[in-house]
Each structure stands twice: as C-alpha cells, then as structure tokens.
Structure 1
Amino acid sequence: MIGRAMLLVVIGALVRTGSAQMTVLDGTGFRVAPGTTMHLDLQGDLEIAGTAEVTNDGLIIVAPGTSILEPLGAPISGSGIESATDLYATPLSGVDPGGLGLEITTTDPPGTLVVERGHLAWSDTAGRVSVERWYRVSPQTWSGSPATIRFHVDPSELNGISFPSAVMHVRSGADSLWAPHPGMVDQLDHAVEASVPDSLGTFTVFEGMLPTGTQDHAFGP
C-alpha cells in the first residue's frame, strides 16, 4: 500500500501519456519511504523523464506486464529494492523482467522467477567496491541452469570504476564468495554480459577480477 501523503506526491508527479503508460514529469519526482511498499501494475510502462527524481528507500513491486523506463544518468536511486515476479513457461531470450535492466537468456524454462534490484555498493575485505547496482535472481521452484546474463548499469552508478575493466561477479545462495565471470563490456549500451553456469544468485560488477576467497559484503543487503 502507499501512504496517503506519499500518494499525493505521486499523483502530482505522474501523468498518463497513453492508454498503458504513465510518466514521471520533468522537474518532479517522488520517494518511496522506508517500510513502504509501492505496487506498479500499469500493464504498460512507467517512464521517468530526464530531470525527474525517483528515490526508493522502500520496496517497489513491478507487476507482470509493467516495465520501468529510466533516463540515462538519472535512474531510480536509494536504499530500497525494486522487485519483479513473473511466470515463464518457455526458455528466456534476452528477457528483462520489469525493465529493471537485467537481461536473461536461459536454456530451460524457469517457471516463476523473481528478479530484485538494489542500488547500494558491495565491498570486499580489501575495501574494493562494486558499482552502485546489484541484482538478485531467485526462483520459486526452478533449480537454475546455465544462462547468459546482460547486466545494465547507469554511468552515474559506476562508483569510480573504470567501465572498460568491469567484470560481472556472482554470489550464490548463502555463499559469501563472489565468483568472477569475465565477458563482454558494451560501453555504448552501458552493459556487461557474461555466460554463467547458474542463472541464480546475486549479481554485481567490480573493476577487474576479485581474488578468490577474500570477498565479503559491507554495504549491500
């Protein structure tokens, strides 16, 4: 549910620009407060205009059929999480659940899949930090399979990392180690792509490959 005060702010910032699209207007914005859940069920797009500001310190649930469109340089920020859950009965091919920026290609149908996105950096024990974006992929019944993951990151979230040296890392289950998965860096599309043996886990991007066995988190959830 959305609190009344927050709902008034959202209504002032949003306009419907099509039968299935809403836009956060330039120069406006809203904040999802800690402990607050916002449900997006538009059956279309939520477009954030170039100078709008959306801060999520709570939880935004993106319903099936709804996608978030963010401007380059001004994505959603904050300490909260965006979450998209959907049922997939066939293998995925470049599917980006909820428009959150993680494209997934799988060899098997995953069934019901949950993709979460956050905006805090992770740190290893040596103090090296990741980009200010992470994704967590988890199933309800699926045990995972090899996949190609395309991780989009906004330039404003690089956190001092040299993007040409970016390497995707994965943390699986309760394992505290980050496994590096070198792949392709697409600077034009602001994305890192890699083939991974298991499509489940928490994904983020560090500069270069972290030394195995020293990874832990200091900032991420």
Structure 2
Amino acid sequence: MKKSTPKKSARKNIVGLPAAFDESSITAEQFREIRTNIQFSSEKAVSTLMVTSAEQSEGTSSVASNLAVSWAKLGKKTIFIDANLRNPSVHDTFCVSNQLGLASMLDDSDVSLKKTIKKTQIKKLSIMTSGFSSENPADLLNSNHMTHLIKELKKDFDMVIFDTPAILPVADGRILATKVDGVILVTPQGIARKHSVIKAAKFLRSVHANLLGAVFNKVVTKNKY
C-alpha cells in the first residue's frame, strides 16, 4: 500500500497561498481585510464572485486563490473555479490533474458536477479546474448550462469564486461578469496601465456588472500598511 504524503510535505507543494499557510503574515491579514470589504461592499449579499484584471499577467489568479482560502478560513464552504479556459493555472497551484473540469462539463453532458469538484487539504475549500474542451471558451461561459451550473453551486456552497481571463483581450470575463453577484478588478502597481484599467471598468459597467472595487497588488512600500 502506498504511504500517504505527510501534511507538512503537501503544504510545501502548494505555493503562493500565504492566506492558507502563513496566517500571521501581513499578506494574509490584507486578504482578510479585502474579504471583509467585499462582504460589506454591496447591499445584495455576494455569494458568487469573479476576480479579473484589465490585461494579462497582472496577478489575478494569486489574488483569487488567496481570497478563496480566506473565505474557507472563515468557516464558509467555498469553491474556487478556474474559468480561465485559455490559460488555466489552478491545477498547478493546487497540484492536481486538469483532466476534467469546468470546460469538460460545459462541453459534455456526461461529465457530472461531482466528477469535476476536488477537495483540497484546506478545510472547507474545494476547487474546480478548467478542464479541456473543443468548444470556444466564450461560448461555453455564455451558455445556459453555465447559468444553471452557477445556480447549482450556490445551493451547495456559501461562496463561489471564479478566476477569469483579463477583460480587454477576450470577451470571456465580460460574459461571466453578467452571471455573478460581484466583480473585483486586480490592478498591479507598476504594471497596470491607467487607460487599460479605465477601459476595463467601462467594459464591465457596459454589461451591467456589479463592479465592487479593485485590489491594488504587487505594491512596493516600506510601510506595512
């Protein structure tokens, strides 16, 4: 019988999650603060959240994954979904297979929801990787199947968080933004361009998305606050 991997070693495999394994750090505390701000940012309760950015490679996945961990640490049953079907990363972060996931289920009715949900070593946190599909990602996210899936997930989880592609290059994020309760726009210091962030916000508002605010990340400062 194959021996199980010790918890300590498993933790080393998951990188970039200070909210999970370094709870006393400044970064973990900042994610708890962001979580609190989201909870009180809208008159309507937010149970489905999309995290995106204006352009690619702006730290969206890192922010989204740590927010998901932060919600789970609050004792809320949380699922983190990789809706970046073009350039997925959640399976790498959590060191799991990406054979079946969101795209697989949306593209194939024989792939059940149960098959695509994976538990993590973090209590209360489950994930759904992107999976693979031959269909256009924007069409999959715009489908009635996707709308139905979100409704089903809301029955089983207290919080559903989506990692999505950047808003400007492709339509995927704009489509999903119409189906969730709230949207967070990740804006990295020294990388995000002002006109791109403004344009992304306009795009989100044009589809009547509930833009809750922005997370300013990759900040270089001498003051911990």
TM-score, length basis structure 2:
0.29
**Which structure shows the bigger proportion of residues in helix conformation?**
2
Q: With a CA cutoff of 8 Å and minimum separation of 6, indicate the structure with the bigger relative contact order.
A: 2
**TM-score (ref. length: structure 1):** 0.30
